[in-house]
Amino acid sequence: MELGVLTAQPLGHMDRADAFDFLESLGVDAVELGTGGLIGAAHVDRNKLLTDEDARAKLRSELDERGLDICGFAVHDNPLHPDEERRERVDRETKETIELAAEFGVDRVITFSGLPAGAPGDSVPNWVTFPWPEEHAEARDYQWEVATEYWSDLGAYADDYGVDIAIEMHPNMLVYDPVGMVKLREATHERIGANLDPSHLWWQGIDIPKAIRYLAEHDAIHYVHAKDVRVYDSNAEIEGVFDNKDFDREEERAWMFRSVGYGHDEDAWRDIISTLRLVGYDDVLSIEWEDGLAEPTEGLEKAVDTLQRGILRKDADVDWVP
């Protein structure tokens, strides 16, 4: 297993060369690069890379000089948004990111499932978490019809380029848990799979090793993020975990995203790493850093340090088995 970093959030304030130098100094193996959408494109110009061979050569050279690979291109957004102009823009950015991944020999892009409106003609995405009163069940069923059509087509598009689409299961998106992920995969295309981000599942009360096993049983793990979360019981036991207060109200929130190691201890992360190996995932673990209590570079340093001690890099030697 190797260690990657999504560069956009912690290092977006640096230019690309400085960001790559910093990651090299930490012993990171790979970078995940944002190409647009909600996370932006701090270190790459998607359109220029698609049209300019010199720009592609420059990026390859900067990576090679530091011993870094590209482990994924990220374009998180809502491709099912009810606003037609936004929906078409996101679709275009996603398809261009798929094309860019193929150009660089990268076999996955990372995004969200998206979230439609609750009915034709509505203008705001609608996250349905309970099927009653019955109009909510009707909205849910309509949304799945929209999603199934879109992701079937996009899965086929990605297949033409030999690229997987790793969907980050996230609240306020149609797919926010492993069961929904498998449902979408089975209804659409095998190129559609999970970006397993433990932080979005932990605060829903999901057991991560069990989620890994479930997704693996359906051959649905395309990628893994390393991001932590802390549930603060003193608040959660009063209002539950569906907390929608602004993120700058840290003391009042029921949960917060944290740097790896500051939400769950090393044993929890080693269990995740071991379970991933157990089910056959021996690929990149990519740090997605978000933490309102840490300075970005320091938080990233702490996350890298924690994971470097837990990652198993060498092939298992089973000769000792009697």
| pLDDT tens per residue, range 102-111 | 999 999 999 9
Q: What is the pLDDT of residue 313?
A: 92
Q: How far apart, in whole angstroms, are the C-alpha atoms of residue 320 and residue 87?
A: 55
pTM exceeds 0.85, yes or no = yes
Evaluate if residue 15 carries a pLDDT over 80: yes
| pLDDT above 70 coverage of the chain, percent | 98
pLDDT-derived band of residue 322, with 50, 70 and 90 as boundaries? Answer: low
Q: What is the mean pLDDT of the chain?
A: 96
Q: What is the pLDDT of residue 165?
A: 98
Q: How far apart, in whole angstroms, are the C-alpha atoms of residue 163 and residue 109?
A: 7
Every domain of the chain and the residues it spans: 2-310
Evaluate if residue 234 carries a pLDDT over 80: yes
Q: How far apart, in whole angstroms, are the C-alpha atoms of residue 10 and residue 14?
A: 9
Q: What is the pLDDT of residue 320?
A: 61
pLDDT-derived band of residue 282, with 50, 70 and 90 as boundaries? Answer: very high
Evaluate if residue 1 carries a pLDDT over 70: yes
Evaluate if residue 202 carries a pLDDT over 90: yes
**Concatenated DSSP letters for 88-110?**
HHHHHHHHHHHHHHHHTT--EEE
Helix (H, G, I), strand (E, B) or coil at 120: coil
CA 146 to chain centroid, in Å, comes to 22
Whether residue 212 contacts residue 221, with contact meaning beta carbons closer than 8 Å, is answered with yes
Contacts 24+ apart (CB under 8 A), 81-90: 81/114, 81/115, 81/116, 81/125, 82/116, 82/117, 82/122, 82/123, 82/124, 82/125, 83/123, 90/37, 90/114
Backbone torsions φ then ψ of 34, nearest 5 degrees: -75, 135
Evaluate if residue 321 carries a pLDDT over 70: no
**Least confident range of 32-36, 78-82, 303-307, 318-322:** 318-322
pLDDT, mean of residues 149-174: 98
Whether residue 192 contacts residue 165, with contact meaning beta carbons closer than 8 Å, is answered with yes
Q: How far apart, in whole angstroms, are the C-alpha atoms of residue 111 and residue 109?
A: 7
Peptide bond between residue 133 and the one before it cis (omega within 30 degrees of 0): yes
Query: 2-310 architecture in CATH?
Result: Alpha-Beta Barrel (3.20)
